[in-house]
Structure 1
Amino acid sequence: MTDAIECTYCGSDVRRHDPVFVAELEAGERVPAGAFCNYACLSSHIDAAGLTTGASCEWRPE
Structure 2
Amino acid sequence: MKRKVTIQFQTPQDFTRFRSLVDNNIIEKDLINLSITCNCSDKEVAYAMNYLDAKVIQEFPE
TM-score normalised by the chain length of structure 2: 0.29
Q: Which has the higher strand share?
A: 2
Q: Which has the higher helix share?
A: 2
The structure whose Rg is larger is: 1
TM-score normalised by the chain length of structure 1: 0.29
Q: Which has the higher contact order (CA 8 A, sep 6+)?
A: 2
